[in-house]
Amino acid sequence: MRHPPFPCPVQGRREVAGFTLVELMITVAVLAIVLAIAVPSFRDMINRNQLVSAANEISATLNLARMEAIRRNRRVEICPSTNGTSCSGSNWSRMIVREAAAGTLIRDVQIVGTGVTLTASSNVSTNNRFGFLPTGFARVGSGTAVAGSLSACSSKLPVAENTLDVGIVASRIAVTPRNGGTACSARTD
């Protein structure tokens, strides 16, 4: 007796391709659990990246001002600006880099981040501007050395990790996380 090369289907039963309803329900449930875990952490990652981006933009602007002061052999200053052409206001989310004596605009910087606020430490905000000498050292308007910071703070992050300080000491510029965790506020140094 010869057997057919393929098995014969059982009478009344046919093969069905695809997924069963139970398999689809399990897949949807697993997907819902994964999304419930991933979406909040993804949102925190976006907020953290906006904060780091703002701090890096401040650091890059300060380094630009320092390098331009050295290159031009003239004092270059940084100050908040409401119009992008002159020093005005006290909101550091928009600042300009300009040659101090001539007032020549070097760069207009807008730091944009949803929920990110920028503040200056008291010794920077008192003068509302500071600059770099041709030697590369930072000085406030009166000529005294700067030892202060510009802070980027995100109201959308947990208090323990919501602030990055861009510190300026002499000619050194460094981005550091603020320890201690406080609500968004300026440093007191």
Per-residue pLDDT of 37-55, as tens digits, reads 888 878 888 889 999 999 9
For the stretch 5-28, pLDDT in tens is 665 555 656 666 788 899 999 999
SS3 189: coil
For residue 84, the 8-state DSSP code is S
CA 89 to chain centre: 22
pLDDT at 73 over 70: yes
Q: Furthest-apart CA pair in the chain: how many Å? A: 109
Residue 185 is predicted with a pLDDT of: 58
User: How far is residue 86's CA from residue 166's CA, in Å, rounded to a whole number?
Assistant: 23
Closest CA to 157 of 58, 38, 34, 50: 50
The CA-CA-CA angle for residues 133, 135, 139, to 5°, reads 35
Residue entry with tokens 């041709």: 134
* Count of all residues that appear for the chain in the document: 189
What domains are defined for the chain? Answer: 21-73+112-177 (3.55.40)
Task: Name which residue leads in pLDDT, 135 or 112.
Answer: 135
Question: Taking CA 168 as the corner, what is the angle to CA 162 and CA 170, rounded to the nearest 5 degrees?
Answer: 165
Q: Report d(CA 119, CA 58) in Å as an integer.
A: 11
Contact assessment for residue 45 and residue 115, using Cβ atoms and an 8 Å cutoff: no
DSSP 86: S
Asked if residue 176 has pLDDT above 60, the reply is yes
Q: What's the average model confidence in pLDDT over 84-93? A: 88
Q: Hunting for tokens 């419930």 — which residue is that?
A: 36
Mean pLDDT of 171-188: 74
CB atoms within 10 A of CB 44: 14
**Residue 80 is which amino acid?**
P
Q: Is the pLDDT of residue 181 over 70?
A: no
- pTM of this prediction? 0.77
Cα gap 111→19, rounded to integer Å:
51
